[in-house]
A and B are shown apart, each in its own frame.
Chain A
Amino acid sequence: MYIVVVGGGKVGYHLTRSLMAEEQEVLVIERYGPKADRITRDLGATVIVGDGAEVATLEQAGAERADVVAAVTGHDEDNLIIAQVAKRRFNVPRTVARINNPRNEFIFSELGIDATVSATQVILSIIQQEIPQHPFVHLLTLQEGGIEFVELQLVDDSPAVGRTINQVGLPEETSVPLFIRDGKPLVAQQDVTLEENDRIVAVTVPHQEAALRMRFLGTGS
C-alpha cells in the first residue's frame, strides 16, 4: 500500500511511524521545514515540504498512485479540502480526514470523505460508557454506508424489559447481534427475554436511531 500522510504534527508523526513499522510505503507532506526535518531524521521517512492542499504538492507526492490519503493536520478546513482535492483530482480510492470539531462530522461524510476520525468524539464515547446512567452510546460509525454500532442500557422501567427482541420489534435497517448480561457477551436470540441492566448492542443507520431508542428505552432522545 502507498499512503500519503498530510500533516507532520503529533498525529502525523506517530501515524507515519506506525505505518512504517507495518512496512507500508509512506510519504509525509508537511508545510513547516523544521518539522519535516525532524520526521526525516527520526523516522527516515520521505517528506515533502509544502502545502498538501495544493495540486502541485500532491502531484509531487505521487498522489495519483496512492491507495490512501490521510489528512491529519490540526485544521478541519485544511483536512476537508486536502481530502476533496485528492479524491477529485487524483482519484484516490480512500481518503481519511481528521476532525477536530466533532460538530463538523456530518458535513465531512456528506462532502464525500470516506472516513473521518475525531479524537474528541472517541474520548466522549469512552467517557459516556463510563457513566452508568448513560442509556445510549455510539460505539462505532462506518462512514461509507452511514452504519453505526450503538449500545442501549436497559433500566427497570425500559419498555423492552420482560419482553423478547421479537416482541419489542426492530426498526428497519437495524439488527441486534448481541447483548451483554452480567459482563458477558451473549448472542442475541430473537426469543430471549430481556432483563434490567442488559446492554443491547445494535447495528443501525442514523435515521433509525430515534425509533430504536423509543422501542427499547421508551424515549426518542
Chain B
Amino acid sequence: MIMGCGRVGARVATRLSEDHDVVVIDWNPGSFDRLESDYSGDTVVGNGIDVDVLRDVDVGGADLFLALTDGDNRNLMAAQIARSLGARKVLARVYDATRSDIFGEMGLITFSPTVNGAKRLFALVTKDGEER
C-alpha cells in the first residue's frame, strides 16, 4: 500500500505491481496519471492521515505501507496510524534528517532523501566514487 502518488510513489508503485498486489492512495485523482501504463494495481482517492480512510482500504491487512507524500509530518503520521492499525511493515519518507532519526529510534523505518541524495552526490563528485 502506497500513500502519495508523486514521481517517486508512482515509480515504486509501478515496479512493485509487477509482482505484488498494490494499492495507491492519493487525495488528488489527477496524480494517478503519473502511473505508467503497465501499472496493474488499484487506486484510491482519499486522505491518508484519516483513520477511517486507512481502515476502509484495510491497511491492517497490508504487508507493507509506504508513506511517500512530500510532507514529512503527513508521512510520519500516516505511517504511525498504519502501524497501529496492524500493517506489518511501515516506511515513511522524511526529508528532515533529524526528524528521520528521531522516528527511526521510535521504531519506524524512515528514509531521508536528503541524506541519501547528499551521500550519492558526494560519491559522484569525489574521485573515489565511494558512498560514505
- Which residues in A have some Cβ–Cβ distance to B below 8 Å? 53-56, 75-78, 80-81, 84-85, 88-89, 101, 103-104, 106-107, 110-111
Contact = CB atoms under 8 A, between A and B. Distances in A.
A104 B73 CA distance: 14
How many residues of B sit at the interface, in one of the four size bands? 20 to 34
Interface of B: 49-52, 71-74, 76-78, 80-81, 84, 96, 98-99, 102-103, 105-106
Contacts of B96: 53-54
23 contacts: A53-B96, A53-B99, A56-B98, A75-B73, A76-B49, A77-B73, A77-B78, A80-B73, A80-B80, A81-B72, A84-B102, A84-B106, A85-B99, A88-B102, A88-B105, A88-B106, A89-B102, A103-B51, A103-B52, A104-B49, A104-B50, A104-B51, A107-B84
B99 A78 contact: no
Nearest to B47: A101
B99 A54 contact: yes
Nearest to A82: B73
Contact of A53 (B49, B73, B81, B105): B73
A77 B76 contact: yes
Closest 10 CB pairs of A and B: A81-B73, A77-B73, A77-B77, A55-B98, A77-B74, A78-B73, A103-B51, A80-B77, A77-B49, A81-B76
A56 B74 CA distance: 20
A75 B81 CA distance: 16
A106 B51 CA distance: 9
A6 to B, nearest CB: 12
A104 B49 CA distance: 8
Nearest to A81: B73
Contacts of B106: 84, 88
Nearest to B48: A77
A81 B98 contact: no
A84 B80 CA distance: 12
Contact of A103 (B50, B73, B76): B50
A53 B52 CA distance: 25
